[in-house]
Structure 1
Amino acid sequence: ILVSSDKSNIDSDIGDIWDSKQVMNNISVNLKHGGEPLKPNTDYYWKVRIFDSDNRLSGYSEVQKFCTGSFEGTVSSKNFFLIEQISPFSFKKNSESSYFIDFGKDAFGTIELRYQAKKREILTFRLGEKLSDGKIDINPGGSIRFQEVTLNVTPDKQNYTLVLPPDRRNTEGDAILLPDSFGVVFPFRYCEIDNASENIKSEDIKQKAFFHYFDYAQSSFTSSDKILDQVWDICKYSMKATSFTGLYIDGDRERIPYEADAYINQLGHYCTDREYAMGRQTIEYFMDHPTWPTEWLLHTILMVIEDYKYTGDAKLIKEYYEMLKNKTLKELAREDGLISTQTGKITGEFMSKIGFADTTKRLRDIVDWPQSQKGTGWNLADPKGESDGHQMLPVNTVVNCFFYENMKIMAEVAGLLNKPEDLDEFHYMASKVKKSINEKLFDRQKGVYIDGEGSDHSSLHSNMLPLAFDIVPEKYKNSVVDFVKSRGMACSVYGAQFLLEGLYKAGESLYALDLMRSESERSWWNMIKTGSTITMEAWDMKYK
């Protein structure tokens, strides 16, 4: 490996920063720099060549350039943002002064317009995500966006960028803020323009869209099933479209990262682009900004181990090991290993240890969202909500399945860091929790898991998670699988991740595939059918 301070040196095979010489081992990724210390905010160039087992030498790879950032702050480094000027997918002139533009896909951004006015005018713009009778829906409901703004144009100016008003909910408080240079960004697919006295052509207008770095060419998917292909496309584009803050956020409603959403986003992102900066930055964000749902917090270590599996880089594990131990909620465990958030063990000191700045906050079990009509008080389309009527009890099966998975992963992490005492402790705890789940949270007569200690109800969630986390004893797998299949997609889009994982692990690959390519109301295809180009938080509008 040669690392150089300028292009001329690297082109001349001079590694003035580092020349690794010939290294005889099988390590092919995540090699630690061994030359002069790198400087912050500096450009460097590098290339590599390899030797085979017979000592035959290859040519050098193409030269690569990288720029270091600031060495202060987080362990991981940020990547850069992308701004794309997107041309209309369709452009229609409705009248002499009005236009309708469809940019093909929803994106976060604003409008750029080239317009030569002969006199001072005020153009009216309507931006939206949803149509009604061929026009932008001005009352789309929920968190679907619509906005009407005006633009003052003058004869002495030709190029304009539409300035949008901020939404207090997603630009204040805990919301992830954008650089001031971005201005206000807004999600929209459609644009309507009124009161334009001069002619506007399709090439005069662009959707100025903001993204985190995302190399779309890194992955592709085609199959014999056109619905499955479209499901892949909407999921992949969703990851790019919602990347505009540089962290995995909930979407536009709050623009706040939540651990469970972020984990699922990470799984898809790491599979479709070899770009890990956003995932790693999000993990570090969660160290000091956890969210209130118990199960969400228990996704933190799931994100960390996935990052390690993809990158081979253990820096995050080493840096945050003690905090990760706290975030497993192991301190809440009873003698039998099961945990509960309702035993009085959660104090202000405990909340501080797991990363909360406001130590008056408390964890609450969630299972899925929205919970039942009884639990939320909302008038839901399905009274069972997205949690399949899960019975909320102090010792919750869903929470303890995640706790078991945390213990299992922490044992792996302790092994990576050569901490044998911790490894033994976490391994023992995992065994204890698994045993207690199968003894105290399982109905042997029915062959299914119950929702919690003392429960008389079994939800999909209480059974799909034991399958996903390898908790189910072999002799009960058939009865648990039969129950899971009997419930269909009785979980949210979030819960579907673990439902599919559990089904594939249980050998039910065809049934899982059928769920992914389903045309039912509770499917990804239904999102596409409704006109969305970004995956929705709920299967259909009526469920929110």
Structure 2
Amino acid sequence: MDKIWQGKWITESKFYGLSPINLFHREIEEGEKRKHLEKLKNRHMLVRKTFTITEDIKTAYLDITADDYYKLKINGKTVGEGPAPAYFFHYFYNRYQVENYLKEGENLISVHLYYQGLVNRVWNSGDYRQGMIAELFINDKLKLKSDKSWKYKITEAYQNGGITGYQTQFLENIDFNLIDKNWQQLDYDDSNWSNVCVNNSDDHKFYKQPISGLDFYYIKPVKINKIKDNHYLIDFGQIIVGYFQMTAKGFKNERIEIRQGEELREDEDRVRYNLRSNCKYQEFITLSGGKDKLNFYDYKVFRYVEVIAHNPDSKALYPETFKALVRHYKFEDENTTFYSSNSKLNRIWQICKNSVKYGTQYQYLDCPGREKGQYLGDALITGLAHHYLTGDLKLYKKAVQDFALSSYISPGLMAVAPGGLMQEIADYSLQWPALLLKYYRLSGDKKFLRKMYPTAEKLLAYFKQFQRGDGLLTEVNEKWNLVDWPKNMRDNYQVKLEQLNKKPEYGCHNVINAFFVGMVKTINEIRDILSIEYKNQFSKLKQAFREAFYNQNKKLFVDTETTDHSAVHSNILPLLYGLAPAEAEKEIVDLIKEKGLKCGVYMAYYLLKALARVGEYSLIYNLIVNENKNSWNTMIKEGATTCFEVWSKEQKKNTSLLHPWASAPIIIIIEDLLGIELSNSGKRNQIKMTPHLPAELDRIKFTMQNKDLKIEIKKDSSQTGFFISPVL
């Protein structure tokens, strides 16, 4: 821990004395069999503490955290919420400067604490570690700490509307008759509230959260359609992440139905609230008879909202109050901008940018609706795109560490981190060193690289247990071998890639070994940077890989040693990692020309980067803007405002329509077409630029600016050359 706490971990009485449930286990193993009590799920705990200030307030800060989540006000004013999801043994607390929220005399801290109790990819919930801790310092002296004098009440207002997603969140059927409307006001009478319980056995280890809080702001609908009396369809113009809000005043106990979704039902002016992505966003609120302000606690992904007052005599709805509270990690739209003479490319850039913007919360989420979790494979793409769009590296660094901390569960790392769902994907684990090395290249933070290096060595040692005599991996059966996702995007890859619950036998195949040899190459680079001696096995592994998977007659790589099928996946990774002989490069490029993006949106990143390695920039551009079925243009034709999980809505039955892992064009345009290479020596940023723009683009304007740098690139058909002005 980075500080010694004097405050106590406080909890509600029903959690007092419960020992934590151990959620951690390998995916192929059973976890603790003790079941979580249903009555202790979906708990909304309201906490209050009044106190008096007599001294002059020069500076003041509050340290606070909760498990799972809190929303904090001081004297009725919103201060913040959090923390970012984390493992209990490395749990984050937030620090707020609060001198402007405090006053001389009586003050109130109020906290709406939520404990979900589900095991999923969102939080490490479902382990009985419910509660919170806080300390207030005024003029650098401890003024207030959480202890048994704090008071609480469990509110029943947020009634269970069912569970949606992959056990992701409870829907909220809010009953305004049960809302304590003034509980966050100083003069509220809490005499009938209970005193909290102090858990002296709490085992959280606290660390100050290394990233900032989120941005929250309101937007108005772009269109409100009155379908009939008391029935409205609201369009916010694009898919967003956040909360629908409104004010209603109707009959006591009148019910209002709220439907939210990413799209409309086909041929109907109605919301598709049964989302493709396995979420059902249908909730009912019960009015109190007074003025009721709707504030859902948990966020959703939506564009459209349908509001229905089913009582034909209702006068409850006020369309002028309809709005959305948007949330995402810090993001300035003007930090990085791109415009070209190709309108298709511009639209592709925009949907990718929107995906990264709304899909980045406290983590790089794969889908902020269905899973709300951070996957390692997704983070490698989304994290880099997010950095180029914002200049932020704190979240990138946190992602690297999040997955390193999952070695507590397995030295082979988890696919989702942090999170209570135990999922393992070999392909993703093999890419963690690349995530680490890229962070170092961008930051120059050698101290962090050295700190993380042992995790890379443990990861390598973990996979070595699956090596056969020639060094290649075989039967990595305790982690899922993914290759690509969904299944129909694998280009008929000749391995039966069953998930772990079906006890697969993967054998020795191309993609996992390509990632493995690539990982060895990456770890060697890290060792060189850190001046660590090692026995270089890369050349031996490269030769073994060729002998196993290279077909001399076809001059292509095959999927396994026992097939002559050459999936595009089996060839892009050897091309990317320098495993292909020179004679094979043209054949692989020709294969890609023939097949196009015969892969999922996730592996499209590797395909495009492989082409960049051999200088095929024109082909890269043509693939990005192509209009075949597997293309970003297909998403746009199908109404995308953010990237899909797959190329087309119909390619996966539970497709997410906001999936940032499809944002590869952001990276490819910047790194490969514009030819911008950013690095840091540890002392200053370094910029190299070698544009590879196709002749078809006769106009381009690109800007990248943040606190550390400014880059402008312009190309105009009326002038020759580029005008590049990096400012450090």
Q: Which bracket does the TM-score occupy, shorter chain normalised?
A: 0.7 to 0.9
Counterpart of 2:111 in structure 1 is none
Q: CA deviation at 1:117?
A: 4.2
Counterpart of 1:190 in structure 2 is 304
Match status 1:127 vs 2:230: no
Instruction: Quote the Cα distance in structure 2 between the aligned partners of 1:98 and 1:404.
Output: 59
Instruction: Quote the Cα distance in structure 2 between the aligned partners of 1:317 and 1:75.
Output: 20
SS in structure 2 at match of 1:542:
helix
Residues 96 and 251 from structure 1, CA distance in 2 versus in 1: closer, same or farther, beyond 3 angstroms? Answer: closer
Residues 454 and 316 from structure 1, CA distance in 2 versus in 1: closer, same or farther, beyond 3 angstroms? Answer: farther
Task: Say which of 465, 470, 476 aligns to 1:336.
Answer: 470
Match status 1:156 vs 2:156: no
Match status 1:535 vs 2:643: yes
Match status 1:366 vs 2:498: no
Task: Say which of 491, 503, 506 aligns to 1:388.
Answer: 491
SS in structure 2 at match of 1:220:
strand
Task: Say which of 284, 300, 311 aligns to 2:432.
Answer: 300
1:194-223 alpha-carbon deviations (Å, 9 max, x no partner): 228438565411112221222222111111
Amino acid at match of 2:326: A
Instruction: Quote the Cα distance in structure 1 between the aligned partners of 2:208 and 2:308.
Output: 49
Paired residues, what number?
Answer: 425
Instruction: Quote the Cα distance in structure 2 between the aligned partners of 1:274 and 1:127.
Output: 33
Counterpart of 2:598 in structure 1 is 490
Instruction: Quote the Cα distance in structure 2 between the aligned partners of 1:74 and 1:444.
Output: 55
SS in structure 2 at match of 1:253:
coil
Q: CA deviation at 1:413?
A: 0.8
Residues 332 and 120 from structure 1, CA distance in 2 versus in 1: closer, same or farther, beyond 3 angstroms? Answer: closer
SS in structure 1 at match of 2:520:
helix
Counterpart of 2:50 in structure 1 is none
Instruction: Quote the Cα distance in structure 1 between the aligned partners of 2:550 and 2:207.
Output: 43
Match status 1:210 vs 2:323: no
The question of whether the paired residues in 1 share the 8 Å contact of 2:251 and 2:316 is answered with no
Q: CA deviation at 1:246?
A: 3.1
1:497-532 alpha-carbon deviations (Å, 9 max, x no partner): 011111222222222211211222211121222223
Instruction: Quote the Cα distance in structure 1 between the aligned partners of 2:260 and 2:450.
Output: 46
Counterpart of 2:450 in structure 1 is 318
Counterpart of 2:229 in structure 1 is 96
Residues 213 and 525 from structure 1, CA distance in 2 versus in 1: closer, same or farther, beyond 3 angstroms? Answer: same
Match status 1:442 vs 2:556: no
Tell me the TM-score normalised to structure 2 length.
0.55
Q: How much identity, in percent, do the aligned residues show? A: 26
Amino acid at match of 1:414: R
1:223-255 alpha-carbon deviations (Å, 9 max, x no partner): 111111111111111111112343434442222
Match status 1:80 vs 2:188: no
More helix by share: 1
Unaligned runs of 5+ in 2: 1-57, 60-93, 98-204, 407-413, 416-423, 496-505, 653-728
Instruction: Quote the Cα distance in structure 2 between the aligned partners of 1:184 and 1:136.
Output: 23
The question of whether the paired residues in 1 share the 8 Å contact of 2:518 and 2:577 is answered with yes
Q: CA deviation at 1:447?
A: 0.7
Counterpart of 1:58 in structure 2 is none
1:470-510 alpha-carbon deviations (Å, 9 max, x no partner): 22222221112112222211100101001111122222222
Instruction: Quote the Cα distance in structure 1 between the aligned partners of 2:465 and 2:327.
Output: 42
Counterpart of 1:414 in structure 2 is 527
The question of whether the paired residues in 2 share the 8 Å contact of 1:221 and 1:232 is answered with yes
Superposed CA RMSD: 2.7
The question of whether the paired residues in 2 share the 8 Å contact of 1:75 and 1:315 is answered with no
Instruction: Quote the Cα distance in structure 1 between the aligned partners of 2:206 and 2:531.
Output: 27
Counterpart of 1:378 in structure 2 is none
The question of whether the paired residues in 2 share the 8 Å contact of 1:76 and 1:280 is answered with no
Task: Say which of 344, 368, 371 aligns to 1:227.
Answer: 344
More strand by share: 2
Instruction: Quote the Cα distance in structure 2 between the aligned partners of 1:224 and 1:82.
Output: 32
Unaligned runs of 5+ in 1: 1-5, 8-39, 44-71, 164-182, 347-361, 372-384
Residues 142 and 450 from structure 1, CA distance in 2 versus in 1: closer, same or farther, beyond 3 angstroms? Answer: same
Tell me the TM-score normalised to structure 1 length.
0.72
SS in structure 2 at match of 1:221:
strand
Counterpart of 2:369 in structure 1 is 252
The question of whether the paired residues in 1 share the 8 Å contact of 2:301 and 2:368 is answered with no
Instruction: Quote the Cα distance in structure 2 between the aligned partners of 1:312 and 1:280.
Output: 12
Match status 1:268 vs 2:268: no
Task: Say which of 111, 114, 126 aligns to 2:244.
Answer: 111
Counterpart of 1:503 in structure 2 is 611
Amino acid at match of 2:521: K
Residues 441 and 523 from structure 1, CA distance in 2 versus in 1: closer, same or farther, beyond 3 angstroms? Answer: same
Instruction: Quote the Cα distance in structure 2 between the aligned partners of 1:152 and 1:315.
Output: 55
1:7-31 alpha-carbon deviations (Å, 9 max, x no partner): 9xxxxxxxxxxxxxxxxxxxxxxxx
Instruction: Quote the Cα distance in structure 1 between the aligned partners of 2:576 and 2:591.
Output: 14
Match status 1:398 vs 2:511: yes
